[in-house]
A = this chain, B = another copy of it.
Amino acid sequence: MTKGEKFTELVLEIFKVNGMLNIEGDQLTSSFGLTSARWKVLGAIGLEQRPLTVSDIARLMGQSRQGTQRLVDAMVKDGVLAMLDNPNHKRAKLIQLTIEGQKIYEELDETQRPWAADCAEHLSNEQLETALTVLKSLAKKFES
């Protein structure tokens, strides 16, 4: 089997696991009134520890600006995110977590940690590292 064929198999597996991870994420977050997609937005802001514009969040998530905008708008409406005036840009508001958003973010972190540990249990550090390297290499290749 050539490397190209192996790669093709990897691609199909990425598609499959992506779907499964979204379902897992939906289950982990449902009791907080969130979804997998919205959790990612929360995580992007939470990780950066500072208010971000919608475009910033989209870039961090590797998704379209427009799709991210819709998620952010919905989350603002739901009260987990808030918009701040941006001194550097008249239209591009800064998005931050509300108190409730912060609380959910922290509680979800507590939920996610043991889940991730369980998922990683039967994988070695080297395996995880290699898989990550491969995916990052692909992301870099496709990002232009």
Decide if the interface of chain A is mainly helix, strand, loop or mixed: helix
One complex includes copies of this chain to the number of 2
Are the CB atoms of A2 and B127 closer together than 8 Å? no
Are the CB atoms of A128 and B21 closer together than 8 Å? no
User: CA A136 – CA B137 in complex, angstroms?
Assistant: 19
Chain B residues in 8 Å Cβ range of A135:
10, 13-14, 16-17, 131
Are the CB atoms of A8 and B112 closer together than 8 Å? yes
Question: A123's closest neighbor in chain B, by CB?
Answer: B134
Are the CB atoms of A13 and B132 closer together than 8 Å? yes
User: CA A62 – CA B14 in complex, angstroms?
Assistant: 11
Binds B, one of A74-82, A84-92, A99-107, A113-121: A113-121
User: CA A81 – CA B103 in complex, angstroms?
Assistant: 50
Chain B residues in 8 Å Cβ range of A126:
130
Cβ contacts A to B, 5 pairs, < 8 Å: A4-B117, A4-B119, A11-B21, A14-B17, A14-B135
